[in-house]
Structure 1
Amino acid sequence: MVKAVLLDRLWARMNERGDFPMLSQSLRTTVAAMANHDYDFSALVQIVLSDFALTQKVLRLANSVMYMAFGGNITTVTRALMVLGMDAVGHLVVGLKIVDHFHHSAPRRIDAKLELNRTMLSGSVARKLTEHGDLRVGEEAVVCTLMRQVGKLLVVFYLDAEWDEIRRACDGGATEDEACIAVIGVTFDELGNEAAVRWRLPDTIREGMGAYDPLADESRQTQWLRAITNYSTDVARVLTTADITEEARESHIAELANRYGRVLSTDPEVLVQMSLALAKEETDDGLMREIMELRANADAIARESLDPEARIAAGVEDLRALPPDSPFSTALTLANETVLAGLGFARTVVFVRQGVNMFAAQHGFGPGVEEVLPNLGFNAAFQPDVFHLAIANSVGIFIENARDPKMLPRLPAWYRETFDDARAFVLLPVAVRDEQPVALLYGDWTISQEPRRISQTEMSALNELANELASFFARSTADAD
C-alpha cells in the first residue's frame, strides 16, 4: 500500500511536467490498436500517419530486402501493415514513441543524455541479435529491452534531486537497488514495471523486461525475451563504462556471451564478435561516438553537481524554453525542482496566490512535504513576520538562523509547527512588474544538514529564476487574453 501511494505521488510529479501524459496516452492508444484485429487496421494506420518520421520508418522497413518477396515498392502504411503485421508495427511504434519522448524532453544534463544513449544502444544490441529472425518477435524484444531501462530514465529525467542522491549513494558503494530504495522507496525495475502497467503494455512485454534467471519457472519465450533484454542491457553498460581497458571490456562481454549463449541459441564467440562489431559501427557514426564525446566532457557533470549558479542558470534556460501554452503549474514545478537541486535544499514549497488575500501551498518536494501541503498557507493581509516581508519585497530574502531566539517571533505559528527542524531558509517572491506577487518559493536546510549560507551570486541567480518565472506567467496570461 505504501509503495502504491509513493508511485502515485511520483507519477503526479511526472505529470506536472506536462509532456508525460501525452506519452502515456499515445502508448495506450497504440496498444489498444494492436489488440484490434479489424482487417482495415484503421486505428494503427492513423497513429503511424500522424507522425511523418514514423511513417517513413515503417515504409522503409516494409521495402527492405527482407520483405521484397511481398512485391516491393510499398507506398502506403496500410499495405506496409499487411506485409509487416500488426504486432511488428505496433511494437516498432511503442519503441520509437518511448525513445522520442525522452529524446525531445532531454535536459541539458550530461548524465541524462548518457543514460538515454545507453538505453538506445541496448536497443540496438537487441535489434542486432534478432535481425535475422521473426521481425514481430524481434521488435518485441527491442521494446522489452527499452522498457527495462525506463524506470531509471524516469528518475533521471523527472526526479533530478532524487537522481543526484541515488548517484551519490552509488559512488559511496551502495548498489543501485539499495540506493533507490533508500531514496525513493522503490527500485528502477519496480518503477519500470509500474510504467508498463499504467501504459497497459501487453503481458509479454511486462514479463520479458524482467531479470533473467535460468532456473526460473517461466515459458521458453519469456526466458528468451529476458535473455535478450538482459544481455543487451549488460553489453551496453560494459561498452559505455568509462576508464576500462579494451582487454577488460572484451573479457566482460565474453563472460556475458558464455552466460547467455545457450538460451539465445548463439555461439558465445559469435555474440562477442557481434557486440564488438556493433560498438565499432556505432563509434564511427552513432550512439557510441556521442557517448564518447559526452564522456570527454564528464567533468562537466561534477561541475554541474557542485556549482549552484550553473544549475540555477540551467533552470532559467529550461523555463525560457517552455512552450508559451504550457500550464503555469508546469513552470512552477520546474522552478521548484531547480531551487531544490541547485542549492541542495532538504525541502521546497511553492505558495500560490489564491484569489486576492490567500497564499496556499501548491507544490512541494522533500521528505514529508506532500502530507503537510494542505496545512500550509497564509493570509496576504499584513502580519509582522518574514513571509509577509517576503511578499512585500522585490527580491528574495535569506534567513540564516531560523532557530535564533530573536528570529522565532518573526516566524508564523503554522510554519514553526510544520517545519520545526529548519535551520535556514530562503523566500523568493514571484511578482509581475510592480504588481502583488503571484507566488512565493520556499527552500530550506534542516538541522541534520551542515550549516551554510547563500552567497550574493547565488541569491542573484535565484532572483533571476524568480524573474523568469514571473515573465513566463506574464506571457502565458497575455496569450490567454
Structure 2
Amino acid sequence: MAAKIGRFEIVRMLGKGAQGIVYLARDSHLGRDVAIKTLHATQDGMGALLQEARIVSKLQHANIVTLFDAGEHEGAPYLVYAYVQGQTLAQLLHAEPGLPLTRAVQIVSSLLDAVAYAHAQGVLHLDIKPANIMLSATGQPQIMDFGIARSISQPPQSRIEGSPHYMAPEMVTGKKITPRADLYSLGMLLYALVTGQPAVEGDDVQEVLRKTLHDATTAPSERNIHVDAQLEAIILKALAKNPDDRYANAAAMNQALQQYLDPTREDEKSGHDGKHSTLEFLLRRMQSKSDFPILSSTLSEINRVVDDESASTNILTKTILQDFALTNKLLRLVNTVTYGQFGGKINTISKAVVILGFETVRNVAMTLILFEFLQNKAQAAQLKDDVLSSYFAGILAAQFSSGRNIRDAEEAMICSMFRNLGKLLATFYFFEESQEVARLVEQGDGEEKAAVKVLGIGYSELGVGVAKSWNFPPRLLAGMQRLVGEVIKPYGELETLTVTVNLANELCAVIAHGNAEQQTQGIRKIMKRYKDAVAITEPQLRAAIESSLAEMSARAGIVSINLAQSALMKKMRQWAGEEEPVAKQQPPEVDSMAGITRLDMGHIADADDGDADRHDADAILSAGIQDVTNTLVEDHQLNDIMQMVLETMHRGMEFQRTIICVRDAKHNVMAARFGFGKDAEAMLPKFRFPINTTPDVFQIALSKAADLSIADINAPNIADKIPAWYRAMVTTGSLLLLPIVIKEKPIALFYADMPTANSMQISQRQLSLLRTLRNQAVLAIRQKM
C-alpha cells in the first residue's frame, strides 16, 4: 500500500472491490480525514472515474457524500470524498436485520430529499442499495458511489449495470430509464429496512432478474407483522413493475412518507384498517390525554421559542409563566450559589431569562421534566431507578466533556439524560410491554432488539421520535442517537458529543447491573470498544465515575429523592467502595463545567417541602420590587423594567391577565404593548382606545391619575362606565387600572383582570406594593426621558 496518494497520507484501507480500493487518508494541507476512491490504471477506469467526478461535482447536499477533489497517481485515477465516520446500511442490516419502522422511513425520507435534489440537477444514481448508503455517527444517511450515475437525457445502456436486488425492471430490459428507476430502488431499500431481507431473492443473478420482471412482490407485512397497511401501500406503489404506476417523482413519494410519519394526519383512504405504529399511537395519546406531566407541553413551546431567532425575552417569559411549578423551580435554580456573580437575589423570570440566556432556560426545563416521570404513581418504583440512572449518566457525560472538543457540557448532560427517553416513556405508558422487554433482555436479547420484538420499535427510536415532537433541536437529537458496532474516532464537535453521551450511558448501565467482577469486565469491554474514540485510562474513568457519584448525592435535594432508598444508587455506592450514602452535601465546584446543572443543592428548597411552592403574594411582590430596584441602578433597557414590573404584578396577584398599554402620541391612543395570562396575546391587537374626555373608567384613571380597583364591572354604579369596546373584547368580572401619568400627561396604563365579580381580592398592603411597582416604572421612564 502506498504511503501517500498525491498530498494525502494513507491511514488504512476502508474497502476493496474488483475495480479498485477505498482508503482512509489524511489531508495534510487542510488537516482533515478524507476517503480516497481509486480505480485500477485502465482507460475504462480513468473514464469511469472522471465521469463520476463530473456528476458528483454538481451535487452539494447534506445527504450526499461531498466530493472534495480528483486526481491521478502513478497512472491511476482517484477521487477524494468527505470521510463519513459511521457504517453503511448494509453493515447495520447485518447487525440488526429489520429496523424500527419509523427509523426506516426517516432514513428513506432523507434519501428522497437527496434524490430529488440530484434529479433536479439532471442526475440519476441508478445504484441505490444498502452498501451505497453511509450512516454517520449521528445517524444521518448519505448517498455515495455515483459510479454508474448518468444524465437523465442519456440514452439507455446496452448492458445491465447496477445491483440486481435493487434494480428497476426497465433497467433489466434496456427500456428508457427515468427518475422513477431510483424511486424503485428506494422502495426496495425501504422494503429491506423494514423486513430485514430483499424483496426479491434467488440462487443466482439470472433468477433474481427473472423474478424482478415477472413475479409479484411479497407483501412486506407477510415478513413483518408490524408493517401497517399505509406503509405497505407506499412500498408496493414504489415497487410497481410499470414505472407509470410508481410515484410521479421523489417529492411525491417523500410526501407520502411524511404523511405516514405525521401523527396528526387523518386517514384519507377508505378501507384503511387504522393500525398505527407504536410511536404514532404514543404521540396521539400524549396529545389527547392528560396523564403525562404538563411540563411536556411547556417544554415543546420553550424549544420552539428558543429556536426562533426573532423571539423576544417577553415571549419566552410568558411561556414559562404559564407553568407555575416550572416558574418556581427555575427561580430556585437561578438563586443558587452558582449565580452569585450576578449580585443579589433574582426574583423574576424576566431577569432570570436575561441572565441565564435562552438555551440555558431550555436545558433547565429539560432537566426538570425528567423527574416529572415520577408523578406516575403506578410505576413510580420502577421509574425511580430508571430516572436516577438517566440523571447519573447525564452527570457523568458532563464530567467527560471537561477538556474535550464539546462546546457545552450542559448539552452533553441533557443528551445523556434523554438518551433513555424511549425506555422511560415505555415504562410510563406501556408498563406490561416494558416488563416483557426486560424479560427478553434477561434471556439474552439486546434491549433494542427486545423492544422491537415487543413494541415494533426500539427504545432509541421511540425516544427520538417523541423528542422531535417536543421540538428538540437537531444538535440534541443527534447527541441522543445510539452508536452501534465499532466506535471510531469522532470527526468534529457534534460527533464527539454523541460519543461522549453513549460512553456515559454504557458505563452507567454496566455499573448498575451485575456483581463486582461483572462490572469490572464490563468496563474493560467498554474501554476496548471506545479505545479509538476516547483517550481515557481506566483510572481516569474510575475517578470520573466516583466524582459523579459524589455529585449525584449533592444534587439529590432538588428532586427530593432519598438516595439511600434507591437500589440503583446502593449498587453504585458499593462499586465505588462507599458503605453508606454521602450524608454531607458536597461544596459547590468552582468551575462551570456543567453550567446550570452544577448547583449548590443546600440553597434550593426541597421539592416536596410543603412550603416550597406555597403562594405568598406579599413576598413575591416585595421580591419583585427588590429585583426592579437592583436593575434600575444598573445599565438597563426600559422594556426590561416594564416587563419585570408587569410580571411581578401578574405572578404575585395571580391575575387572570395583566397587560401594559403605552400611549401612541401620533394617534393619541393608548395601545397594549405586551401582557401575560389567559388569551393575553390575542387581546393585544384589540386592546386599543382613544384618549379623550369620555367618562368611562379608563378615561377617569388616565385623566385623574386615579388607581381604580373595580370589584364588579356590572354593579349598578359602575356598569354604565364600562366602555362598549371593552365589553365587546372580553368578559371579566373585576379589573384593576394603575395609570402612569407624568407632568399631567398620560404615558401608560397597567391593566389586570379576574374572571368573576369580587374575585380580585387586594389587601391594603398589596395595593401599596402594586403602587410601588408602578412608581418604579415611572422612575424608569423618567430616567429615559
TM-score band w.r.t. shorter chain: 0.5 to 0.7
Report the Cα offset of residue 149 of structure 1: 9.1
Asked if the contact 2:560/2:606 (under 8 Å) is kept, the reply is no
The residue that corresponds to 2:586 in the other structure is: 281
The residue that corresponds to 2:412 in the other structure is: 144
Asked if the contact 1:110/1:300 (under 8 Å) is kept, the reply is no
Match of 2:346 among 108, 111, 128: 108
Q: Is 1:474 equivalent to 2:474 in the alignment?
A: no
Q: Is 1:398 equivalent to 2:712 in the alignment?
A: no
Q: 3-state DSSP class of the match of 1:465?
A: helix
Give me the whole-angstrom Cα distance separating, in 2, the residues matched to 1:130 and 1:346: 41
Distance 1:141 1:403, change over 3 A: same
Q: 3-state DSSP class of the match of 1:145?
A: helix
Unaligned regions of 5+ residues in structure 1, if any? 21-98, 151-188, 259-266
Give me the whole-angstrom Cα distance separating, in 1, the residues matched to 2:410 and 2:579: 16
User: Could you state the TM-score of these two structures normalised by the residue count of structure 2?
Assistant: 0.35
Code of the residue aligned with 1:348 in structure 2: it is T
Root-mean-square deviation (Å): 5.5
The residue that corresponds to 1:250 in the other structure is: 564
Report the Cα offset of residue 424 of structure 1: 1.0
Report the Cα offset of residue 455 of structure 1: 1.7
Percent sequence identity over aligned pairs: 20
Asked if the contact 1:123/1:142 (under 8 Å) is kept, the reply is no
Report the Cα offset of residue 8 of structure 1: 5.6
Q: Is 1:306 equivalent to 2:615 in the alignment?
A: yes
Give me the whole-angstrom Cα distance separating, in 2, the residues matched to 1:393 and 1:338: 25
Report the Cα offset of residue 322 of structure 1: 2.2
Question: What do residues 49-103 of structure 1 show as CA deviations (whole Å, max 9, x unaligned)?
Answer: xxxxxxxxxxxxxxxxxxxxxxxxxxxxxxxxxxxxxxxxxxxxxxxxxx98897
Give me the whole-angstrom Cα distance separating, in 1, the residues matched to 2:403 and 2:734: 59
Give me the whole-angstrom Cα distance separating, in 2, the residues matched to 1:274 and 1:353: 68
Report the Cα offset of residue 298 of structure 1: 9.8
Q: 3-state DSSP class of the match of 1:437?
A: strand
Q: 3-state DSSP class of the match of 1:136?
A: coil
Match of 1:348 among 658, 661, 669: 658
Asked if the contact 2:401/2:412 (under 8 Å) is kept, the reply is no
Give me the whole-angstrom Cα distance separating, in 2, the residues matched to 1:224 and 1:450: 59
Q: Is 1:464 equivalent to 2:775 in the alignment?
A: no
Code of the residue aligned with 1:208 in structure 2: it is G
Asked if the contact 1:424/1:446 (under 8 Å) is kept, the reply is yes
Distance 1:281 1:475, change over 3 A: same
Asked if the contact 2:712/2:758 (under 8 Å) is kept, the reply is no
Distance 1:446 1:133, change over 3 A: closer
Asked if the contact 2:713/2:719 (under 8 Å) is kept, the reply is yes
Q: 3-state DSSP class of the match of 2:636?
A: coil
Report the Cα offset of residue 410 of structure 1: 0.9
Range that drifts further, 272-281 or 380-389: 272-281
Match of 1:419 among 720, 730, 733: 730
The residue that corresponds to 1:442 in the other structure is: 751
Distance 1:318 1:278, change over 3 A: same
Match of 1:338 among 625, 645, 648: 648
Question: What do residues 380-417 of structure 1 show as CA deviations (whole Å, max 9, x unaligned)?
Answer: 11111000111123342100012324422211112111
Asked if the contact 1:282/1:288 (under 8 Å) is kept, the reply is no
Report the Cα offset of residue 208 of structure 1: 3.2
Report the Cα offset of residue 340 of structure 1: 0.8
Distance 1:236 1:435, change over 3 A: farther
Q: 3-state DSSP class of the match of 1:444?
A: strand
Asked if the contact 2:672/2:685 (under 8 Å) is kept, the reply is yes
Give me the whole-angstrom Cα distance separating, in 2, the residues matched to 1:19 and 1:418: 25
Report the Cα offset of residue 348 of structure 1: 1.1
Code of the residue aligned with 1:255 in structure 2: it is L
Asked if the contact 1:257/1:271 (under 8 Å) is kept, the reply is no
The residue that corresponds to 1:378 in the other structure is: 689
The residue that corresponds to 2:627 in the other structure is: 318
Distance 1:339 1:358, change over 3 A: same
Q: 3-state DSSP class of the match of 1:348?
A: strand
Range that drifts further, 234-243 or 368-377: 234-243
Q: Is 1:15 equivalent to 2:312 in the alignment?
A: yes
Report the Cα offset of residue 315 of structure 1: 1.8
Q: Is 1:410 equivalent to 2:724 in the alignment?
A: no
Give me the whole-angstrom Cα distance separating, in 2, the residues matched to 1:439 and 1:229: 57
Q: 3-state DSSP class of the match of 1:375?
A: coil
Give me the whole-angstrom Cα distance separating, in 2, the residues matched to 1:191 and 1:100: 31
Asked if the contact 1:282/1:289 (under 8 Å) is kept, the reply is no
Question: What do residues 250-287 of structure 1 show as CA deviations (whole Å, max 9, x unaligned)?
Answer: 232x42576xxxxxxxx773368599569753389999
Give me the whole-angstrom Cα distance separating, in 2, the residues matched to 1:469 and 1:375: 24
Aligned residues: 333
The residue that corresponds to 2:601 in the other structure is: 291
Asked if the contact 2:735/2:754 (under 8 Å) is kept, the reply is yes
Give me the whole-angstrom Cα distance separating, in 2, the residues matched to 1:342 and 1:137: 44
Report the Cα offset of residue 235 of structure 1: 4.2
Code of the residue aligned with 1:108 in structure 2: it is I
Distance 1:436 1:301, change over 3 A: farther
Distance 1:305 1:330, change over 3 A: farther
Q: Is 1:240 equivalent to 2:557 in the alignment?
A: yes
The residue that corresponds to 2:373 in the other structure is: none
Match of 1:358 among 669, 686, 693: 669
Report the Cα offset of residue 236 of structure 1: 6.5
Distance 1:309 1:208, change over 3 A: same
Give me the whole-angstrom Cα distance separating, in 2, the residues matched to 1:236 and 1:306: 29
Report the Cα offset of residue 17 of structure 1: 5.6
Asked if the contact 1:145/1:228 (under 8 Å) is kept, the reply is no
Q: 3-state DSSP class of the match of 1:392?
A: helix
Q: Is 1:329 equivalent to 2:639 in the alignment?
A: yes
Distance 1:333 1:390, change over 3 A: same
Question: What do residues 287-307 of structure 1 show as CA deviations (whole Å, max 9, x unaligned)?
Answer: 9994224439998965x8533
Give me the whole-angstrom Cα distance separating, in 1, the residues matched to 2:734 and 2:309: 28
Code of the residue aligned with 2:574 in structure 1: it is E
Q: 3-state DSSP class of the match of 1:457?
A: helix
Q: Any residues of structure 2 matched to 1:92-103 within 5 Å, and which?
A: none
Give me the whole-angstrom Cα distance separating, in 2, the residues matched to 1:16 and 1:105: 21
Asked if the contact 2:348/2:627 (under 8 Å) is kept, the reply is no
Give me the whole-angstrom Cα distance separating, in 2, the residues matched to 1:443 and 1:144: 42
Report the Cα offset of residue 220 of structure 1: 7.5
Asked if the contact 2:558/2:605 (under 8 Å) is kept, the reply is no
Q: 3-state DSSP class of the match of 1:306?
A: coil
Report the Cα offset of residue 355 of structure 1: 1.0
Unaligned regions of 5+ residues in structure 2, if any? 1-263, 265-286, 288-296, 318-336, 357-362, 369-389, 419-465, 485-497, 513-547, 592-596
Q: 3-state DSSP class of the match of 2:648?
A: helix
Report the Cα offset of residue 221 of structure 1: 6.5
**Bigger relative CO (Cα 8 Å, ≥ 6 apart):** 1
Asked if the contact 2:347/2:620 (under 8 Å) is kept, the reply is no
Report the Cα offset of residue 222 of structure 1: 5.5
Code of the residue aligned with 1:444 in structure 2: it is D
Code of the residue aligned with 2:587 in structure 1: it is E
The residue that corresponds to 1:47 in the other structure is: none
Give me the whole-angstrom Cα distance separating, in 2, the residues matched to 1:319 and 1:192: 37
Report the Cα offset of residue 129 of structure 1: 6.4
The residue that corresponds to 2:700 in the other structure is: 389
User: Could you state the TM-score of these two structures normalised by the residue count of structure 1?
Assistant: 0.53
Code of the residue aligned with 1:295 in structure 2: it is A
Question: What do residues 299-352 of structure 1 show as CA deviations (whole Å, max 9, x unaligned)?
Answer: 8965x8533222122222222222655332222221111111111101111110
Distance 1:313 1:386, change over 3 A: same
Question: What do residues 403-437 of structure 1 show as CA deviations (whole Å, max 9, x unaligned)?
Answer: 324422211112111111x11110011233x3313
Structure of higher CA gyration radius: 2
The residue that corresponds to 1:30 in the other structure is: none
Distance 1:380 1:235, change over 3 A: same
The residue that corresponds to 1:208 in the other structure is: 479
Distance 1:229 1:416, change over 3 A: farther
Distance 1:129 1:257, change over 3 A: farther
